[in-house]
Amino acid sequence: MSEIVDYWQLLLIPVFFGLGWAAARVDMRQVVHESRTLPRSYFQGLNFLLNEQPDKAIDSFLEVAKVDSQTVELHFALGNLFRRRGETERAIRMHQNLIDLPDLDDKVRLQALSELGQDYLKAGLLDRAEEIFNRLLGSSFEEEAKRNLLEIYQVEKEWLKAVEIARELPDVASHREIAEYYCELAANEIMRSRPDEARQYLDVAMQENRKCVRASLLQGDLLLQEGKPLEAIEAWQRIEQQDPAYLALVAQRLLETYRKLERVAEGIALLSGYLERYPSLDLLEVVYQLVLESEGTEAAYRLVRAELQRNPTLLGLEKLMSARLPLAAPEVRPDVELAKTIVQGYTKRLSRYRCDNCGFKARQFYWRCPACGGWETYPPRRGEEFDQSL
């Protein structure tokens, strides 16, 4: 019986082979037929792409689009390519031509409209982009449109509109980011000397995110503006429970407020405690200035030397040389000055803040990265401290 089964299996092999060969011939005939219908410019464009000649490839594909205006996918591909290359005018024309085609499928027209909105956004034509994305609300491209509208409102600093859109996109904008929008509104009101409105926005920011450091910082600023320095200090001190790394951002405020209150010793004790528990180059700078003013050069030098021994950094070494220079003997002072100058050449690039998200470096601290747009992605640490923590 097994011999009969084996015999039939042997007979089936050529049958299956023949069926596969026939199917392949049908597919090949279809491919050949379709390829003959494509214009020569299409293959020239492919050849240019393979030979890394994108400009010539674009020209060839444009010829294809002229020959057959119904080549929808090619229009999309060319439009996206133009946008990525920064040729937004050509991208806009390409997608606008698609929208103007008669008898275009509704879904394809909506896609072309979405692409046109992104062209306008890339070109900085925010009003036109906003108009298009608003037209897409209620369509299958609604979520993408809302994402783009959120970006537009942040660029235009339309924070209330940003809040409204962000609440509809919980997977995109967190409570932390919404709290930042309210902090932006509060900061504007503080600048306009409208404390009541600012306080309301800050209260909402804290409701959105109890650990919103910026809200505590601005509350302190507002209280100081109203002539309540002790309450301002209390507001800034709350940052230790929220995120102690950000104490460096309010250290200068604390210093100046304690000076005005003529309670420098209390300020030194508070900030020195912060420095001991949460080492920071920015905190060191503030405490150094306080000790220098109240206790003199020798005490300031000892402070910096002890901190450098505990947390060795080039930026700390530069500060040590600055503190040492007034104490140095006249014959060695030029050498100390020279060493300080050399170290400064290295520390210039180390004294910047760095975005955790994209790595963009800046000399000043940002709540929102100017490169990637991320909120609270800048740790309040200098570049050298950032590298040491990795």
- List binding-site positions for Fe cation: 355, 358, 369, 372
Question: Which residue type, as a one-letter code, is found at position 223?
Answer: L
Cα 56 versus chain centre, distance: 35
Structure token pair of residue 288: 């150094």
Residue 353 phi, psi dihedral angles, 5° rounding: -85, 150
Question: Which residue type, as a one-letter code, is found at position 324?
Answer: R
The structure tokens 């020959």 sit at 67
Q: Cα–Cα distances in Å, from 239 out to 160, 185, 230, 234?
A: 26, 20, 15, 9
The structure tokens 């949460």 sit at 278
Beta strand 361-362 with 353-354: parallel, antiparallel or unpaired? Answer: antiparallel
The structure tokens 């950094």 sit at 313
Residue 354 phi, psi dihedral angles, 5° rounding: -130, 130
Reported for 30-37, long-range contacts at CB under 8 A and 24+ positions apart, including other chains, are none
Structure token pair of residue 168: 């509809």
Q: What 3-state class would DSSP assign to 361?
A: strand
Instruction: For helices 72-84 and 54-67, give the axis angle rounded to 10 degrees.
Output: 150
Binding residue numbers: 355, 358, 369, 372
Residue 131 phi, psi dihedral angles, 5° rounding: -60, -45
Structure token pair of residue 33: 């037929």
Q: Give the span between the Cα atoms of 18 and 175, in whole angstroms.
A: 64
Q: Are 128 and 121 in contact (CB under 8 A)?
A: no
Q: Are 245 and 381 in contact (CB under 8 A)?
A: yes
User: Would you report the helix, strand and coil content of the chain in percent, each value rounded to 5?
Assistant: 75, 0, 25
- Which residues lie closer than 8 Å to 80 by C-beta, 6 or more apart? 91, 115
Q: Are 356 and 372 in contact (CB under 8 A)?
A: no
Paired residues of 353 in beta bridges: 362, 382
